[in-house]
Amino acid sequence: MGRLTSSAVVLICAAAAGFAVKVLTTEADSRPARVVDAEGDADLGRLSLNADPRLVPLTGDRLVPGRRAGYSFSVTNAGPDTIRHVVARSVKVAAPGTGDRLAVVSVSDPACWGIGRVECIFQQLAPGETRTVRVVVDTPADRPPRGRMVIHTFMGRFTEPVGGTIPMEVLGEIRATTGRFP
């Protein structure tokens, strides 16, 4: 009986040692994660953008000219590759006789800034990653024409400079966020 137990212990120890050697010497997946640049010829068809359809008042239950309101948008990479330098932008659509500057109060993501518009450059967006950005704006003090304020949010990539400016090619659909004033 003692010999049978000793043999079983030796067999179990040998199996455990063999398993440990296999685990320690087996390489992890040898395929490195692929990283592509949004500015290049990468397939960006699996990037998606969502934006709130309505501008929401921060105080009260309706939009009031000259008060703060908020909205959010998110960018998702549903593709198999990490994508660098993904650009998202929100701009105010100018009604006749009004300015096109968006009065940005705050932007939640450190990859974004807001001066006259919201601009984000996500340095890397991994497969399956979503970045959500919350924006607070001051609405115009005067009631906008037809009582509406429209913000367009879209993704893009920068193209070759033309005459000192760097144009941006819009990728995918433009998402509208609309505020209606009483």
CATH code for the domain in which residue 82 is found: 2.60.40.3880
- The domain of 56 spans 35-180
Q: What is the pLDDT of residue 87?
A: 94
Residue ranges in the chain whose pLDDT is less than 70: 1-33, 41, 97, 144-145
Q: Helix count (H) and strand count (E) of the chain?
A: 1, 11
Q: What is the pLDDT of residue 156?
A: 87
For the chain, the domain total comes to 1
168 assigned to some structural domain: yes
Q: What is the pLDDT of residue 14?
A: 46
9 assigned to some structural domain: no
157 assigned to some structural domain: yes
Q: What is the pLDDT of residue 1?
A: 54
173 assigned to some structural domain: yes
Q: What is the pLDDT of residue 2?
A: 54
> Could you tell me the pTM of the whole model?
0.77
133 assigned to some structural domain: yes
Q: What is the pLDDT of residue 41?
A: 66
Query: Look-up: residue for tokens 């949010």?
Result: 153
Q: What is the pLDDT of residue 32?
A: 54
Distance from C-alpha of 39 to C-alpha of 41, rounded to nearest angstrom: 7
26 assigned to some structural domain: no
Q: What is the pLDDT of residue 20?
A: 46
